[in-house]
Amino acid sequence: MSYNNCYFNLALPHNVKKEKLEELMQDCDSLASLLSTSVSSYVHKELDEFKEINRHKDSRYNSSEQIESPVEEASGKQLDEMVDKVKNGVDECFKRAKAWANYVKQLTKYVEQRCSCEMELARNVKKLAENYMVTLKTEEVEHTKALEDMCRQIKEHHFVSQMRDQVKYHEDKRKTYYNMWTKAIKSRKEAEETMIKLRNVYDRAHADMDRLKMQWGSISEQDEPKSKERAEKKYEEARTKVIEHENSYKQSIAEANSQVQQSYKTQKGIITALRQLLSEGDAKLREQSYKLFQSRKLVAESCPPQLAQNEEECKKYSVNSHYAEFIRDLCKNSEKIEFEPEPFKFEPYEGRRKHDVSDTDSISGSSSKSRESSPVSGSPRSHRLFEVSLNEYSNRYGCLVPPIVTKCIDFLESGDNLMKEGLYRVPGLVSKEKQLTKMFETHEVVEDLTDSGYHVVASVLKKYFRQLPEPLLMVRLYDDFIKISEKFPEPITLANDRLKESLRDVVKKLDKPHYETCATLMNHLYKVAEQESNHMDAFNLGVVFGPNLMGDRQRAANMQENQDRINRQNKVIHILIEFAPEVFKTKEKVELPFCNQVQTFIDSASQNDSDDGANRRNSYPSTLLNDSIDADDEGDAHQSAPSYDNISKDERSPHFV
């Protein structure tokens, strides 16, 4: 490089020696030569590193067992040249390498999880086959063992482990290449920024030199000789700075061009390295995939050879051959009988009485057996409590509210039972529940329910309402209750008096026994909901009692419709509990002496059931029964029940028809 021919001409002063200028130019040439040598050495060093990268390949890739890659070197170079001409081609190659690694990770994870599932299946089938070893042969066990071994090999030695190692190697190399590319780009940008900065410095120095030159030329020696000398000195200093900045600027240009060339070489090397890295990964993936499917094929081909034999045996098998053999063996060891087409003949009545048991005895015997096997043995059939409608029970015994309801509620409201957590939600012991149900059903004397426990009593009460033939809120009023409940807002506590009055009108449509029993139950549940410690508010109680107290017991075909229907039923009970004091006007408890006396009769009847009919008749209250009732009379119960002839509750006095 020579600076003898500059692109600008400096007007040298006549008093500057030419030898000094030539000496300065020689020094600049030496400096430029030294800089060029340093840059060339750096470039060759980077190229050697890339040659080492290109020569370095994984020994697994060069294995003799490796399947040859279909991509030849020539086509690889063509691909590199194509990428080299694309803007941001290197960045796209890095994205492709990263995407390949993510794909292989997901594929490896899938193969691993599938092998785990197949191993679990193989172990279960193997265990099942071993349990039925008497019936099956050993081929099934051997096949499942081979399948389990294959999955273990794939996970630990073949596809999964190999591809994980390959992905790790791929990621390490990709990060190394990316760091090199980032470093090269950074160096090129720094060189460009330095060049631009030195160019600006050179431009400013040259402008200052031109300005001083004009000032120096405008001063006359005759007028101001000293000023002219000072101006000349400043000009020389500025010219020297210009030369220095010019040299620095030219050096920065050389450095920037060198960095551009170096980054280009780095780019080509990285493109080639990434292509080879992806080719290596694809080759490894193809190799392991081939081995994977090959091993699966071998296991599939090694299915139990007994299957083919079984197939032939099934073709040759004669239907019912084993059954025919069984019948032949049965006939050899069994007694033979002859068919008689008419085994029965008419026998005269008189002859039958001599040999057979009398009709009365037969009926009596079967009746005794029936009573012994009946779950409510020892009590008259007319005294049933469960599965008897409220209207029938009221007509029979004159009780608007069945004693089981009042007795259970009185017990649950005594002491601190209302504060027990989970009341009506937590079920009681099944054995105690059955025992208490039987006691109520047979009308045994149930004085104290403490031994049964509050959860058992609550369960029995729910069971009673659940088994009513006619639900408490009655089937005919089902739609009315649903419609009025849909008008209530959410939350229902915001309901106005008009809605409450409409609800009260619907409730009044209930039959008298249903109304009184519903009022008793709802006022009781209102007290339960008031206790926060039991965690059973009106909503939870509605969920518990909704399906038991509503009339529609048909299930919808669609599960969602069925759930919506249940939710509407629960809301009805929720509303009735929430506004029980307003809907059911609280009255003083009215004692029904007739009902109490009937209950006394029932209790005494169960105790004296083993006595004869006369003793059972004497246990009836004399004030309630007519003298003409015969002990052996099996007439309908409602014939001796009181009727009220549509008079008010307070005016009722029992009489018989």
User: CA 144, CA 123: separation in Å to the nearest integer?
Assistant: 7
pLDDT digit string, tens, across residues 9-68: 334 444 444 555 566 666 666 655 555 555 445 444 444 544 454 454 444 444 434 444
Provide the CA 543 distance to its chain's centre, in angstroms: 25
User: CA 264, CA 96: separation in Å to the nearest integer?
Assistant: 20
Give the pair of three-digit tokens for residue 502: 């409409």
pLDDT of residue 310: 65
Beta bridge partners of 656: 642
Long-range contacts at 150-156 (CB < 8 A, ≥ 24 apart): 150/295, 150/296, 150/298, 150/299, 151/115, 151/116, 151/118, 151/119, 151/122, 152/115, 152/119, 153/295, 154/111, 154/115, 154/292, 154/295, 155/112, 155/115, 155/116
Element (H, E) at 253: helix 225-301
pLDDT of residue 385: 79
Burial of 88: CB neighbours in 10 Å, binned 0-12, 13-18, 19+ = exposed
pLDDT of residue 524: 93
**What does the domain layout of the chain look like in residue ranges?**
91-301, 382-591
pLDDT of residue 376: 37
pLDDT of residue 491: 76
User: CA 109, CA 535: separation in Å to the nearest integer?
Assistant: 48
**φ, ψ of residue 91 in degrees (nearest 5):** -60, -40
* Cβ-count burial 508-545 (b if 16+ within 10 Å, e if not): eebbebbbbbbbbbbbbbbebbebeebebbbbbbbbbb
Q: How many CA atoms lie within 13 A of 10 on its CB side?
A: 21
pLDDT of residue 512: 92
pLDDT of residue 47: 45
CATH topology of domain 91-301: Substrate Binding Domain Of Dnak; Chain:A; Domain 2 (1.20.1270)
319 contact partners, CB below 8 Å, separation of at least 6: none
First to last CA, the chain: 142
What CATH architecture is 382-591? Orthogonal Bundle (1.10)
Residues of the chain with pLDDT under 50: 1-17, 39-40, 42-47, 49-51, 53-54, 56-74, 351-382, 588-594, 596-598, 600-602, 604-657
- The amino acid at residue 520 is T
**φ, ψ of residue 656 in degrees (nearest 5):** -115, 150
Give the pair of three-digit tokens for residue 90: 């290197």
User: CA 172, CA 374: separation in Å to the nearest integer?
Assistant: 84
